[in-house]
Amino acid sequence: MNIFHKIFYFLFEKAINKRFLHRPPIETRLSEKQDADLALVTVAFNNPQVLEWQLLLCKRFLHDNYLHVILDNSVSPQARALNKDICIRHGASYISLPPNPWTGIHNSRSHGISLDWAFRHVLPRFSYRVLGLLDHDVFPVEDHTLLAEMGGRTYMGVLQERPGVWYLWPGFFFVRADAFKLDEASMLPTRKTDTGGYLWHKIFCHINKEEVLFLDEQECRLRKGESRQSAFYYRIGCWIHTVNASYWNACAPKEDNILSALRQESGIVDLFAVSEKR
């Protein structure tokens, strides 16, 4: 790609992002709780079942004073309708995002721009001390408090490294509100990073790694196979990440396998049922 093509693509991409960031939501239903120690934000995408499990498990195992905001980036109208119903039943705020220009074209950019939109339109409505960003397929499986685990650190999450840069994965990312300027932050990828890589330039290149609590990932078998996106899940402290629940990487349905992993890791069997209508 020559220099003129690079400049054109950069300006084209910037114009698309700017237009999306100025669009209003399709629907907003805020819960009564708008003030908490911890604000959790989940981007939902086409899988209401895992979203409901996450909301249920947070209620069961997470002992922080928290509020939960769901950003619905789903393509399917049926999924959006189910997600809204789930949020209403479980007391989470529900935001139906405008149609995302990057969905199906660049999945990392679709996820990142959804969070950027929320930084500008949603999170300023809430009061909180710590912000937590979650993928829809991460679940707590033990009693704990995230704020106690974070301790005195400014950031907490899973380290991502690329040549010359490092950042935190935005699927399990925690930051103190007073260190994170919403109007300047961006979770977009860069040419050499995945979602969240833009934070290297905005934040992480300027700080000491001692400000960050890095959490290890332990690989666990979900089912037969060799694909990371299908056959494994990852233990992250008191949480598990079951990976690819949006099926951006095509594979056989795995909700039954996720349910088995949740039962095994949490030690409970009475909270879940795979719903046929979802």
Domain-wise residue ranges, the chain: 24-216
pLDDT band at 45 (very low <50, low <70, confident <90, very high): very high
Confidence of residue 275 (pLDDT cuts 50, 70, 90): very low
- Across 99-119, b (16+ Cβ under 10 Å) vs e yields ebbbbeebbbbbbbbbbbbbb
User: What percent of the chain shows pLDDT beyond 70?
Assistant: 94
pLDDT value for 109:
93
Residues 6-29, mean pLDDT to the nearest whole number: 84
Buried b (16+ CB within 10 A) or exposed e, 207-237: eeeeebbebebeeeebbeeeeeebbbbbbbb
pLDDT for 4: 60
Residue 201 has phi, psi (to 5 degrees) of -70, -35
SS3 of residue 111 by DSSP: helix
The pLDDT score that the predictor gives to residue 246 is: 84
Residues 140/61, Cβ–Cβ less than 8 Å = yes
173 φ/ψ angles, rounded to the nearest 5 degrees = -130, 130
pLDDT at 9: 57
Indicate the average pLDDT of the chain.
Answer: 91
Give 124-163 pLDDT, tens digit per residue: 999 999 999 999 999 999 999 999 999 999 999 999 999 9
- Tens-place pLDDT, residues 250-266: 888 889 999 999 999 99
pLDDT over threshold 90, residue 187: yes
Q: Over 50: is that where the pLDDT of 218 sits?
A: yes
Mean pLDDT for 117-123 is 97
pLDDT band at 110 (very low <50, low <70, confident <90, very high): very high
> For tokens 């995230």, what's the residue?
146
Cα–Cα distance between 36 and 276 in angstroms, integer? Answer: 35
Residues 29, 60: contact at Cβ < 8 Å?
no
Structural contact between residues 266 and 142, judged by C-beta atoms closer than 8 angstroms = yes
**Distance from chain centroid for Cα 223:** 24
Q: How many CB atoms lie within 10 A of CB 190?
A: 18
Confidence of residue 271 (pLDDT cuts 50, 70, 90): low
Burial of 57 from C-beta contacts in 10 A (0-12 / 13-18 / 19+) = buried
Reported as a single tens digit per residue, the pLDDT across 162-180 is 999 999 999 999 999 999 9
Name the fold adopted by 24-216. Spore Coat Polysaccharide Biosynthesis Protein SpsA; Chain A (3.90.550)
pLDDT at 14: 85
**Position 217 pLDDT exceeds 60:** yes
